[in-house]
Amino acid sequence: MTDPNAIQPSALDQLPDRDPEETAEWQASLDAVAKAAGPHRAAYLMRRTLERAEGTGIALPKLLETDYVNTIPTAAEPSVPGDEEMERRITAWNRWNAAAMVTRGSKHGVGGHIATFASAAWLYETGFNHFFKGKEADGSGDQLYIQGHASPGIYARAFLDGRLNETHLDNFRQEAGGDGLPSYPHPRRLPWLWEFPTVSMGLGPLSAIYQARFNRYLTARGIKDVSNSHVWAFLGDGEMDEPESTAALALASREGLDNLTFVINCNLQRLDGPVRANFKIVQELEAQFRGAGWNVVKTLWGTAWDELFQLDTTGALVRRLREVPDAQVQTYQTRDAAYIREDFFGKDPALVEMAKLLSDDKILECFHLSRGGHEARKVYAAYKAAVEFKGAPTVILAQTVKGFTLGEGFASKNANHQMKKLSVDEFKAMRDLLDLPIKDSDFVDGVVPYGHPGADSPEVRYLQERRAALGGPAPARRVHPVAPLPAPAEKAFASFDKGSGSQNVATTMAFVRLIKDLVRDKETGKRWVPIVPDEARTFGMESLFPSLGIYSPKGQTYEPVDRDQLMYYKEAENGQILNEGITEAGSMADFIAASTSYATHGETMIPFYIFYSMFGWQRTADQMWQLGDQLGRGFLVGATAGRTTLTGEGLQHADGHSPVIAATNPAALTYDPAFAYEVAAIVKDGLRRMYGEAAPDEDQNVFYYLTVYNEPLPQPAKPQGLGVDEGIVKGLYRFNTAESAELSPAANAPRIQLLGSGTAIHWVLEAQKLLAEEWGVAADVWSATSWTELRRDALEADAALLRGEERVPYVRQALQGAEGPVLAVSDYMRQVPDQIAQWVEQDYSSLGADGFGLSDTREAARRHFGVDAQSIVVAALAQLAKRGEVKATAVKEAREKYGL
């Protein structure tokens, strides 16, 4: 049995030791130090030796954790340029107004967060005064991902510099009147201020990484040089628990994104209590980021701690700081000096002696007030180190106190995230602490006043001068006037109108072929951004590899295994394709960055992201909502769509519901095209609306979701006739009639209208033939390209009627006069076609693939769900039998005939 205490073999045991005697001497030296000076001294020497090795470029594994002290020692801190006292006064005004705004709003029951900005005020103020470049700076300025709960502080600063007024602040979280401020960073609600929607769920940090990466992509491809832009992501330590927060850390280090800085506000608290009550979140995050290859800067302690560290000649203080869990640090924040002397210093004789040299005031100053994240000098040093570090992204772990300066009722209390107001007495105490010139008489009827030093005050002039030097206000979103992109050549779209003849073509292949033509366009081809999560070959896109190249900042440093093939795997520094590996979340973050480049960088890009439809909305719907909030534009393509087309893969791959989820997103235009010419028409209209000459009443800030199928079938020619093009875009048009299909129905034959979307239309067409030939029923077939757009148009018509305007929904106009009942069929759950039921005047019923998917042939799956051609025939006969237009026995006969 192996002794668990025995020294285990390591990787070094596999290497030859060319000088065992020298090795033994080093080991003996370490043993001697441990015996003479103790294990702590031995560990200290080892850490210093490893740090030395790392600094001189010797290849050794990095330390994952360092001591619980500041990375930048006090002696190495640069002086802060500018007027520190002036910046203190500006920060004080911002703290006051942020708290006042939320407190005044609490009277209306709208809530808000006070404690987060109170902890992070200096993290923002230092950046705004010295680092964050505005839109008029070189390139596109910096991109700021603001921690959502800190938004009151950002509004307070915008109030100070004149971009907001008291009416705006009084309408915080009250947007219905038109002058309100959204609760968190929402570009759709406040598009001149906010660029990026944030607030928890890890979407901010994930998007920030891919934004920094997309900046490199734009520069590498020669679209725009944004190499001077820096991405700053402000995050909470609790937010880092979200999987998305750390999902792409390796990408950022692998690609050397030194244009990216995470600033994690380590106030040690989340909504309900400590982030790591029994552990240390800072140390955990340091290990995680260091292990992923990031540069880590810890800014933990303020200058009041300098004296304590100088007294720590034995290392006892550093050891004690490393072992005290976070929840106990929070407790020190709320306890008196006697408690701290006993609980913190009393655990070690060396610390007991140190404490004798410290006054109670000194102890309270250190444990109650002095945190690295609350001092401009400490924060400035960390930011300067971050922007000057090359070769890797930087994370700054800044320790703060949640609720700092808000009084004893807030600071470090577990409930402070839910506390929405201060009392008048608490505000007066805060005023005195911040040294603000606000009089008691300014509190009228118990209402806390806003504070402003005056538009021409030294504080405001200083603030505005600093912002002017850095390139203008921040945060700010700008959409620079740009000419609409020219429409691609018509032949790229028209080539699909003639159909495929006898050749079987899946709509996925049709879409890829269309993209191949569009990326060759001389005017707009370079604007396309193909995004795929390691499924390009599944979708037939490998032919794009050699022609467009896959983006890689290192280019291609190897000889590809398929180098002799026509469609070889090609990576390039200026590659156009973003092939992200197996990460739908990363691909969506790519899409968001590309789709909003028109505002972020003033460069219009046309992203399309193609994915297994099952793994899009179901897996990343939060990001689709983020995309809509950020006013993104582009094409999402759900390939291998539908519940019955992806044979053999089973329920985990069988999408029967993505259009349902997509319908909940107001910015998503959802289409389920059946034929190649429909795909082309929808993409053509999308290019016009999002990037070209949109109609005055059309919102350009939308994105398109198209479902395409991997089932190769003959593609028909586009029908000739009025309304086809309009119907494709609006969601419904008549594909054929029983007569135009040459089915020769009897003059008085019963008639039914069959509506089909996507691949289902092929079963509908087969059913149309069976109904005519075997049951004497005439069926007209309609292609429903978008159930969702039909519904939205109908909802708008309903709203117009309530305003006294006469308007008929398009679906009702299209079906007006159509004989017989309507039967709608989809490869999705019935909820999808049922979206339009209430606006169809005819008798309406539907068929769909409800329930879980299964592994089998397409034919068997369709029979299982009751959506195959024979099932459609039986459902159609049942509808007609109800109306007395066919014999009731026909339904039973059909069921028996088709083995249903």
Q: What is the pLDDT of residue 410?
A: 64
Q: Are 567 and 577 in contact (CB under 8 A)?
A: no
Q: What is the pLDDT of residue 534?
A: 84
Asked if pLDDT for residue 372 goes beyond 90, the answer is yes
Cα–Cα distance measured from residue 211 to residue 586, given in angstroms and rounded to the nearest whole number: 11
Q: Are 497 and 698 in contact (CB under 8 A)?
A: no
Percent over 70 (pLDDT), the chain? 97
Give the tens place of pLDDT for each residue, 398-453.
999 988 888 776 664 555 455 567 889 999 999 999 999 999 999 998 899 999 99
111-120 average pLDDT score: 88
What is the Cα 824 distance to its own chain's centre?
Answer: 36
What type of residue sits at position 886?
Answer: V
504-532 average pLDDT score: 95
Asked if pLDDT for residue 157 goes beyond 50, the answer is yes
SS3 state at 370: coil
Q: What is the pLDDT of residue 93?
A: 97
Q: What is the pLDDT of residue 574?
A: 97
Cα–Cα distance measured from residue 366 to residue 668, given in angstroms and rounded to the nearest whole number: 53
Give the tens place of pLDDT for each residue, 745-791.
888 999 999 999 999 999 999 999 999 999 999 999 999 999 999 99
- Give percent helix, percent strand, percent coil of the chain, each to the nearest 5: 45, 10, 45
Cα–Cα distance measured from residue 717 to residue 497, given in angstroms and rounded to the nearest whole number: 5
Asked if pLDDT for residue 490 goes beyond 80, the answer is yes
- Quick one: 53 exposed, middle or buried, by C-beta within 10 A (0-12, 13-18, 19+)? middle
Q: Are 840 and 792 in contact (CB under 8 A)?
A: no
Asked if pLDDT for residue 2 goes beyond 50, the answer is no
Give the tens place of pLDDT for each residue, 667-676.
999 999 999 9
Q: How confident is the model at residue 9 (pLDDT cuts 50, 70, 90)?
A: very low
Cα–Cα distance measured from residue 102 to residue 115, given in angstroms and rounded to the nearest whole number: 11
Q: How confident is the model at residue 7 (pLDDT cuts 50, 70, 90)?
A: very low
For the chain, give the number of residues: 900
Q: What is the pLDDT of residue 269?
A: 87
The residues with which 269 forms a beta bridge, in sequence order, are 274
Q: Pick 307 or 744 by higher pLDDT.
A: 307
Neighbours of 263 (CB within 10 A): 28
Asked if pLDDT for residue 91 goes beyond 70, the answer is yes
Across all residues in the chain, what is the average pLDDT? 92
Cis before 560? omega within 30: no
Q: What is the pLDDT of residue 181?
A: 94
Q: What is the pLDDT of residue 417?
A: 53
Q: What is the pLDDT of residue 653?
A: 86
Percent over 90 (pLDDT), the chain? 79
Q: What is the dihedral of CA 666, 669, 672, 676, to 10 degrees?
A: -170
Cα–Cα distance measured from residue 157 to residue 177, given in angstroms and rounded to the nearest whole number: 23
Residues 6+ apart with CB under 8 A from 209: 248, 249, 251, 252, 257, 260, 393, 589
Give the tens place of pLDDT for each residue, 18-69.
788 888 888 898 889 888 988 878 888 888 887 787 778 787 777 788 999 9
Give the tens place of pLDDT for each residue, 230-282.
999 999 999 999 999 999 999 999 999 999 999 999 999 887 789 999 999 99
Cα–Cα distance measured from residue 644 to residue 660, given in angstroms and rounded to the nearest whole number: 17
Asked if pLDDT for residue 530 goes beyond 80, the answer is yes
352-368 average pLDDT score: 95
Q: What is the pLDDT of residue 419?
A: 58
Q: What's the pTM value of the predicted model, to 2 decimals? A: 0.94
